[in-house]
Amino acid sequence: MPKRSALRWSSVFTVATALLMVTTTSVQAADAPSNDNIANAVRVSATPFRATLNTSKATQASGDPDCGVATVWYRFRPRISATYVASTQESDYDTTVALLTGPRRSLSPVECSDDAYGEHAAVRFEATRGTTYWIQVGTCCESEEGDVGPGGNMVLTIGPPPPDPTVSVRVRRARIVGLGRVKVVGRVSCNQAVDEINIGGSVRQKQGLNLASAEFGTYLSCSESAVTWTAIADNDRRVFKRKKAEIRVQAEACNPWACGVTEKKVKIKLTK
């Protein structure tokens, strides 16, 4: 794997909302993209905005900021002051996004994002009406030999930020699958696409004066469509019995800027 070049600005973490995009641009990669250089930056005339571009022939200019390589450029001057997100979440290669302001020949860096959504980047920013924002989408990263790129099928979206994540989780059944082992099965959904959510919890069963307990945990992606999750609670010290147990479960979903957490507690009969 190529070694990632150091990014000089603070990076953000990652998960974007699905937007109804009203503007689309597309360029084939027979040559370098038309907006390969900042002088030919594509103007973002309205938001929500969506641009698709093949960047496999993109290059890096000597004056490009140190936030990725094989870059292409966009220019955004919002009509209203608001919060916006520039995201490459739908792209099919490892991307970076740089946000800059100021005159074209004297830019001031605002933020550099790498790996906000897995390999994809996103920048959230408070934009002022009438201010020009320069958005550079790059390829991460330069190899040890100094080779640039290649890029791929880039998708850049600019629009309002996604809402804070919310997550819904429930337990459907629990089955004894071995000595001290219980398989817990449930369903989970989120109000937006989340690459990875954390589900964890415990199984507790009273047995006279004793207590059998075990913890479980799992990770999976989440969206508005409910999906099934499974996890194994393992306790090698005490055997679970075919009777009711208390199952506690917690699910956490995060996008790059906020998290949502929910907890449930149910009593359910363990089966075999």
Average pLDDT on 247-264 reads 96
Q: What percent of the chain has pLDDT over 90?
A: 68
Average pLDDT on 29-57 reads 91
- DSSP code per residue over 189-204: EESS-EEEEEEEEEEE
What is the structure's pLDDT at 69?
A: 86
How is domain 167-269 classified at the CATH fold level? Immunoglobulin-like (2.60.40)
Average pLDDT on 73-100 reads 95
* Burial (CB count <10 Å: 0-12, 13-18, 19+), residue 39: exposed
- CA–CA separation, 27 and 29 (whole Å): 7
The answer to pTM > 0.75 is no
Residue 7 has pLDDT above 50, yes or no: no
Residue (of 268, 241, 250) closest to 174 by Cα position: 268
Domain borders along the chain are 24-159, 167-269
How is domain 24-159 classified at the CATH fold level? Jelly Rolls (2.60.120)
- CA–CA separation, 137 and 86 (whole Å): 10
